[in-house]
Amino acid sequence: EIVKNGLSNVLYWGYYRMGIRDCRVNNFRKKATATQLSEAQRLFGRLEGPSVIQIKKLHLPQFSGLTFISKVRMFLDPSNYVTLDLKLMKLREEDQQTIFHDVTLRSNATTIPVTRTKEEFYERWCDLCRRITRENFDGTDVRAVDIERAIFYLVDTNQSELATEILTGA
């Protein structure tokens, strides 16, 4: 039940500003099997590296794309892992090159697919957030996820240019 509640929490907060939040959470809670949750608990206890492909292989309802799978990884270890949200791909529209210019997605993509290449990119994104934390906030309580959330906030509030400056200065 703890794993089910934890994953429900990830969905709840991941969709907190959207009208589909309750539907997504309820769908997960109805469709997640005891076997899936037991396998998830075993996997979560021994994760190494980004592990998004391993998490995807659990076939958990509502956790098929990289955004929500990365939210699970972040939830389990926010000091080292962050979310790779589709909204961050807006940074590819900026003239200045950032890590996000290295990602290939369909122009009308509604999700980031989980592939080996995307997992490698996700690890690079986590590495960058960890490095920014280490180089600028060593000895503080700032975690990699705090850097990612700050960049996300800037993109979400139409301050992509500032987000780009931060990323290119890192």
Q: What is the dihedral of CA 24, 25, 28, 34, to 10 degrees?
A: 180
pLDDT tens digit sequence for 27-77 = 899 999 999 999 999 999 999 999 999 999 999 888 888 988 999 999 999
Residue 22: per-residue pLDDT: 74
pLDDT at residue 106 in the model: 85
Burial 11-23, CB ≥16 within 10 A → b, else e: beebbeeeeeeee
Give the closest residue to 88 by CA, choosing from 11, 164, 35, 26.
164
Taking a C-beta distance cutoff of 8 angstroms, is the pair 66, 115 a contact?
Answer: no
Task: List, for residues 64-120, the tens digit of each pLDDT value.
Answer: 889 889 999 999 999 999 999 999 999 999 989 999 999 888 888 889 999 999 999
Mean pLDDT of all residues in 143-154 = 97
pLDDT of residue 170: 63
Whether 18 shows a pLDDT value over 80: the answer reads no
pLDDT of 2: 87
Residue 124 has a pLDDT of 96
Indicate the domain borders of the chain. Answer: 1-170
